């Protein structure tokens, strides 16, 4: 069986793990990632580069004719996996693959951390608003939904075999690491900073502009605050590199702390404290019940999306926030958690009760065998 993941926008380095590609291959399947964003102008403002972890897997299509030819050349059993909203951006693509009896389509609405209110359920709202009238024409073979509430919202046929309520992709990482011991290259005790490359991340810059803050001042203040935390707790700082960081080696080299790539979940699992702005990897801290310290910056005050994201995490998880352009003290750093808030967040944003305890995509493919 060939499995094809269809992407519209950024090509993220962490797709290899988020899509369980290693496990899918181990089960004897071929895997490709098709990027069709150029055809429908969905990548404006994004740096379209192929990460090293995905080289050999990705095909980027620039013209519809190229894509049509590749579809016509497919043989045997093929499973396409994409966001359900692909039919909004590229309805003719979904229409085309539904013509083949040997093709199957898994449509998904992914979970998102509550970084800001405007993100919550945005995909489902768009789908309901524009596509309910043609839902049967574009109905996927398996529907992967973010929450059980989406079953009622979408009003697809109530077939238990067709609908899967997913846990977050971060919970997949938890499943992989259940039996993992602390790696020998990690200190016994440390603080981890979940870096977001906030001055370089395409999604942020596309929304807020290239120079939305003073980058040099931000980096200087960030390093100063991390150094203060290190001094107060007498614990080393480790930097969990952002998945896109391999595109910016000079940025990582500017940190005076040890930087570790592609291991955020492990770093959180064995840490004493998690520090971040509003990284969605905060999910790992909730899963492993780790204390969290949020970092704000007064220059963020003019950017409502960033401020709202930080404040939303602070309120939802009942955690402390400090400003990187103010001096911090020991009382600002709490090494305890509000278990009730963590439990509520876990059930709402990471894993509902009675959902599967398996890696998501290998499980979905078993349904189509």
| Domain extents in the chain | 2-167+352-367, 191-350
pLDDT at res. 127? 46
For tokens 């080393």, what's the residue?
Answer: 236
Structure tokens at 336: 């305890």
For tokens 């929304």, what's the residue?
Answer: 207
One fold for both 2-167+352-367 and 191-350? yes
pLDDT at res. 129? 45
- The upper half-sphere exposure of residue 339, i.e. CA atoms within 13 Å in the direction of its Cβ, equals 0
Alpha carbons 172 and 16: distance in angstroms, whole number? 12
State pLDDT tens for residues 167-202: 888 999 999 999 999 999 999 999 999 999 887 776
Q: Classify each residue of 204-221 as buried b or exposed e, where b means 16 or more C-beta atoms within 10 Å of its C-beta.
A: bbeebeeebbeeeebbeb
How far is C-alpha 133 from the chain's CA centre? 30
Mean pLDDT by 10 residues, the chain (369 residues): 90 83 94 91 67 84 92 94 84 87 88 49 46 55 78 60 84 93 94 90 69 86 96 96 81 91 94 95 96 94 86 95 93 94 94 89 90
pLDDT at res. 119? 38
Alpha-carbon distance values, 212 to 45, 221, 329 (Å):
15, 16, 28
Structure tokens at 224: 């100063």
Provide φ and ψ at 2, rounded to 5°.
Answer: -105, 135
CB 113 within 8 A of CB 149: no
DSSP3 helix / strand / coil % (the chain, rounded to 5): 40, 15, 45
Provide φ and ψ at 60, rounded to 5°.
Answer: -105, 125
Nearest residue to 298 (alpha-carbon basis) of 307, 285, 290: 307
Alpha carbons 270 and 289: distance in angstroms, whole number? 11
Architecture of domain 2-167+352-367: 3-Layer(aba) Sandwich (3.40)
Alpha carbons 171 and 113: distance in angstroms, whole number? 12
CB 339 within 8 A of CB 283: no
State pLDDT tens for residues 87-120: 878 888 888 888 899 999 998 876 655 554 433 4
Looking at the domain 191-350, which fold is it?
Answer: Rossmann fold (3.40.50)
pLDDT at res. 38? 87
pLDDT at res. 128? 46
Alpha carbons 283 and 190: distance in angstroms, whole number? 19
pLDDT at res. 134? 39
pLDDT at res. 269? 97
- DSSP letters, 90-139, are -HHHHHHHTT-TTEEEEEE------S-GGGTTHHHHHHHHHHGGGTTTT-
How far is C-alpha 315 from the chain's CA centre? 21
Neighbours of 117 (CB within 10 A): 11
pLDDT at res. 268? 97
Alpha-carbon distance values, 25 to 3, 30, 176, 356 (Å):
9, 6, 16, 21
């Amino acid at each position: 069986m060939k499995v094809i993941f269809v992407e519209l926008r950024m090509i993220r380095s962490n797709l290899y793990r988020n899509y369980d590609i290693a496990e899918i291959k181990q089960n004897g399947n071929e895997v490709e990632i098709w990027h069709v964003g150029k055809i429908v102008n969905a990548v404006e403002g994004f740096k379209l580069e192929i990460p090293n972890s995905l080289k050999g897997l990705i095909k980027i299509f620039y013209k519809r004719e190229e894509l049509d030819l590749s579809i016509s050349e497919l043989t045997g059993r093929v499973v396409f996996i994409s966001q359900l909203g692909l039919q909004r951006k590229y309805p003719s693509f979904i229409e085309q693959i539904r013509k083949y009896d040997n093709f199957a389509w898994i449509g998904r609405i992914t979970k998102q951390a509550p970084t800001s209110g405007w993100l919550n359920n945005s995909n489902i709202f768009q789908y309901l608003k524009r596509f309910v009238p043609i839902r049967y024409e574009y109905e996927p073979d398996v529907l992967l939904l973010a929450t059980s509430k989406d079953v009622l919202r979408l009003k697809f046929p109530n077939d238990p075999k067709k609908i899967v309520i997913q846990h977050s992709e971060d919970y997949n990482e938890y499943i992989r690491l259940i039996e993992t011991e602390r790696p020998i290259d990690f200190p016994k005790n440390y603080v981890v900073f979940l870096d977001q490359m906030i001055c370089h991340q395409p999604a942020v810059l596309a929304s807020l502009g290239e120079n939305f803050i003073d980058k040099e001042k931000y980096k200087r203040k960030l390093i100063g605050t991390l150094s203060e935390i290190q001094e107060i707790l007498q614990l080393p700082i480790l930097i969990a590199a952002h998945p896109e960081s391999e595109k910016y080696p000079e940025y990582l080299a500017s940190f005076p702390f040890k930087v570790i790539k592609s291991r955020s979940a492990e770093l959180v699992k064995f840490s004493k404290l998690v520090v971040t702005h509003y990284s969605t990897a905060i999910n790992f801290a909730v899963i492993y019940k780790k204390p969290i310290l949020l970092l704000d910056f007064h220059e963020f005050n003019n950017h409502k999306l960033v401020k709202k994201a930080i404040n939303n995490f602070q309120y939802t998880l009942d955690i402390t926030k400090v400003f990187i352009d103010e001096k911090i003290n020991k009382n600002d750093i709490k090494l305890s958690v509000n278990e009730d808030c963590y439990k509520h967040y876990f059930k709402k944003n990471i894993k509902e009760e009675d959902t599967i305890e398996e890696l998501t995509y290998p499980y979905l493919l078993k349904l189509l065998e």
